Structure 1
Amino acid sequence: MATNENAPGGETGGVKDEQLTGGYVETTIPRQHVDELLALATAAAEMVDDIQGQQRRESAAFGEGYALGLAAGVDVGRDQAETDMTEAWRPVAESVRRLGRTLTFEEIERRRWDGRREDFGLPRPGDYTGGPVDWETGRPLGRGTAA
């Protein structure tokens, strides 16, 4: 029979559970249950004592997992960007390759400029020479002529 040993005046008795009147309660607990309850209470106390340690371990594990996930995501993103750039550049590279194989250097130079190198900076036929231009014809107007 379990009793309240801390009762005032060293009382060791009390009323039975069925007769609760606000006084001391006397309860009968089998010894095997007392041991189990004591083990549970001890385990609970240890868990409460380790809450901060558990929080530190979980925070560290979360931070490590986040860092690994971010690094993996960055790697995946960079790989995808490289693949996208390769695909976007492929038509340009093929065009340059094809152009380089079909045209001679002289033909490329002629397409770039059909005159002599010495004349490169001189006006070409059809170049705008300055001054007012007729709206309809696009031809330069003489000085003093209204548009």
Structure 2
Amino acid sequence: MKLHIAISLLAIAILSGCSTTSGSKAGGALSSLTGGSKQAAPSGVLAALGNGLIGNNASLDASDRKRALQAEYQALEYSPAGKTVEWKNASGSRSGEVVAAQPYQVGSQNCRQYTHTVRVDGTPQSARGTACRNEDGSWTPLT
């Protein structure tokens, strides 16, 4: 029983240190830790990701790229640490999965490390990176 209370208090302490800089999206880090909503990201929020971790992968068409970036945004903004966010094109020939780590703060920004694995005709390619959350709710990859 004491262990459960200690773990709960530790979780509250961690969550209180993971705040966002935006008043309108103040639940971002908390939502990501608790399995928050799965909303479609506005195109402006996706634009901040640039090419994300998928880079300029010539095997992906525009709709694949959008699915892949949407999955990156979902993992960064809403997904609990270690949970996989998957995407797949209509034919199933191209797919991927994004896994984000625990959020942490750099100055006043929330940041997360994440991995994106893309599969083209069954062949996987993985990339790892870090992105930080902006005041407008978008995420910018660190280079």
TM class, shorter-length:
under 0.3
Flag the structure with more relative contact order, 1 or 2, with Cα contacts below 8 A and sequence separation at least 6.
2
More strand per residue? 2
Q: Which has the greater radius of gyration? A: 1
Length-normalised TM-score, structure 2: 0.22
More helix per residue? 1
